[in-house]
Amino acid sequence: MAALGERFRAAREARGLTLPEVSEQTRIRSVYLAAIEEEQWERIGAAVYVRGFIRTYGAFLKLDVDEALREYASSPAVWSSPEQSEEREAEASTAATVAGKRSLAPWLWAAGVVAVLLVAYLTYSLTSSTQPGTPVALASPGTSPSPGASPSPGTSPSPGTSPSPGASPSPGASPSPGTSPSPGASPSPASVVPGKGTLVVSLAGTSWMRVTVDGNVSMVGTFPAGTQRAFRGKHVTVRVGNAAAVTFNVDGKDVGPLGGAGVVVERTFTL
């Protein structure tokens, strides 16, 4: 293979161009073009200028620029120059820095994922913070209906039928004798028949739930699957911690669940 400078000269002469003509088109001084063809790199100066001129001149002559740069970098004159030694040290230092950053990248990415998951978990925990730690059971299964909150017409608890399990009050927090049940909640029979002006809440799975009837908390706690309650009033607000497990029947019409599993939903019904 011909020397690097000879290939540049041969390519130029093959196109019938003189150095001044190439200089006019490439904006590179003729003395530098001649230095490239004669491989007298010291006449150009810093290696960065040499590489830039080789790239421009090579592209103009349609030579393989990358190959020309590799050949220039491997020439003995370049490797023996102090400037090139400094450049090689700088390149080695830069490569080491880049390699160090790349080795840290997977750990940083993993730490970022863990941080996102932790934030999501804390957000969910705060959203569900109203779920039982020490729930206040204002109404327990089996309480007799309060005045104005009778069960649906034609439906009465069958004799001997035990009420559906609900949220039992915390130890030491049981109501004292004479405590009346919260208004608005009807008894919990085995099956509640919905009717006009009635909201029936049914649980297909375990969920925390709070029901407020006309501004009064009527029911709160964690209830198992199978729990069913009927409420009457002008405005009934229901907040649940597991929306997919709770279905609603308003005035005899099934509404269904209001959200997905584990989703906290609050809804106000006007009866």
Tens digits of residue pLDDT in 8-64: 999 999 999 999 999 999 999 999 999 999 999 999 999 999 999 999 999 999 999
Stretch among 34-48, 94-108, 193-207 having the lowest mean pLDDT: 94-108
State the Cα–Cα distance between residues 91 and 74, nearest whole angstrom. 15
Per-residue pLDDT tens over the stretch 80-99: 455 554 554 555 456 556 55
Q: Are 203 and 224 in contact (CB under 8 A)?
A: yes
pLDDT at 248 over 90: yes
Range with the poorest average pLDDT among 59-68, 83-92, 122-131, 179-188? 179-188
Q: Residue 136: is its pLDDT beyond 60?
A: no
Number of other CB atoms surrounding residue 109 within 10 Å: 10
Cβ(177)–Cβ(206) under 8 Å?
no
- The pLDDT, as a whole number, for residue 71 is 93
pLDDT beyond 60 at 103:
no
- In this structure, what are the phi and psi dihedrals at residue 37, rounded to the nearest 5 degrees? -65, -25
**pLDDT attached to residue 184:** 52
pLDDT at res. 165: 41
Q: CATH number of the domain at 4-79, please?
A: 1.10.260.40
pLDDT averaged over every residue in the chain: 77
pLDDT for the residue numbered 167: 41
Instruction: Give the model confidence (pLDDT) of 143-176 as tens digits.
Output: 444 444 444 444 444 444 443 444 443 444 444 4
pLDDT at 148: 45
Report the C-alpha gap between 147 and 79 in whole angstroms. Answer: 101
pLDDT score of 75: 81
The pLDDT tens digits for 62-82 are: 999 999 999 999 887 664 455
HSE, side-chain direction, 13 A CA sphere, residue 111: 5
Q: Is the pLDDT of residue 118 over 70?
A: yes
Asked if pLDDT for residue 258 goes beyond 80, the answer is yes
Predicted confidence at residue 164, as pLDDT, reads: 42
Question: CA-CA distances (angstroms) from residue 65 to 57, 104, 200?
Answer: 9, 35, 81
**Whole-prediction pTM:** 0.32
pLDDT of residue 241: 96
Neighbours of 51 (CB within 10 A): 16
Listing DSSP states for 150-184 in one string gives PPPTT--PPTTPPPPP--PPPTT-PPPTTPPPPTT
Of residues 250 and 146, more confidence is placed in 250
